[in-house]
């Protein structure tokens, strides 16, 4: 079975090969000042889910409030994040009633304003503002979306 992950890895490897990077997209994403250094720049990643949410897909069993994830096992859908769980924050229970009357607020979900399909962002979003605090890279801010 061909998964989204496999397809995205193939696209990234193809781009790396086409640019003479030996099949690895990492040099594209590394900070110019860190080229040749083994330490990669910091990243902040936001995952948003609309159309309904099952907490079992990302909240470890037994977690009901603020706590460290160190002693918990991550659920299968987010197990690839296991090596990073000490730096992982799972925020659940937010509502976006002020950002959209329907299932998706689009950019508004990260900006706190009403969004919509085909509606340009009306202001900065938290992911954009945080990206300005990190060292500059070739792609300082990348937004990837997948539609239902």
pTM across the whole model: 0.55
d(CA 119, CA 114): 9
Q: What percent of the chain has pLDDT over 90?
A: 7
Assess whether pLDDT exceeds 90 at residue 1: no
Confidence tier at 69 by pLDDT (50, 70, 90): very high
84: its two tokens: 């990073």
Q: Between residues 128 and 103, which one has the greater pLDDT?
A: 128
d(CA 106, CA 47): 12
* Overall average pLDDT of the 47-63 stretch: 79
Q: Between residues 70 and 99, which one has the greater pLDDT?
A: 70
Exposed/middle/buried for residue 138 (C-beta within 10 Å: 0-12, 13-18, 19+)? exposed
Assess whether pLDDT exceeds 70 at residue 99: yes
**Cα 126 vs. chain centroid, distance in angstroms?**
12
* Overall average pLDDT of the 121-136 stretch: 83
Domain assignments of the chain as residue spans, ordered by start: 1-29, 31-131
Could you write out the DSSP letters of every residue in the chain?
Answer: ---HHHHHHHHHHHHHHHTTSTT--HHHHS-GGGTT-SPPPP--------S---GGGTS-TT--SS--STTSPPPGGGGGGGGGGGG---------TTT-SSS--TTHHHHTS---TTPPPSS--HHHHHHTTSPP-SSSS-------
Q: What percent of the chain has pLDDT over 70?
A: 73
d(CA 95, CA 22): 44
Pick the range with the lowest mean pLDDT from 64-68, 96-100, 111-115.
Answer: 96-100
């Amino acid at each position: 079975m061909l998964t989204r992950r496999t397809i995205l890895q193939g696209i990234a490897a193809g781009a790396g090969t086409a640019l003479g990077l030996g099949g690895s997209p990492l040099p594209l994403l590394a900070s110019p000042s860190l080229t040749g250094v083994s330490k990669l720049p910091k990243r902040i990643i936001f995952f948003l889910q609309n159309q309904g949410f099952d907490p079992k897909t990302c909240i470890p069993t037994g977690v009901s409030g603020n706590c460290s994830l160190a002693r918990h096992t991550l659920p299968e859908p987010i197990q690839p994040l296991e090596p990073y769980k000490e730096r992982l924050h799972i925020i659940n229970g937010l509502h976006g009633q002020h950002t959209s009357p329907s299932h998706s607020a689009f950019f508004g979900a990260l900006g706190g304003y009403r969004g919509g399909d085909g509606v340009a962002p009306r202001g900065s979003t938290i992911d954009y503002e945080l990206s300005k605090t990190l060292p500059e890279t070739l792609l300082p801010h990348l937004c990837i979306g997948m539609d239902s």
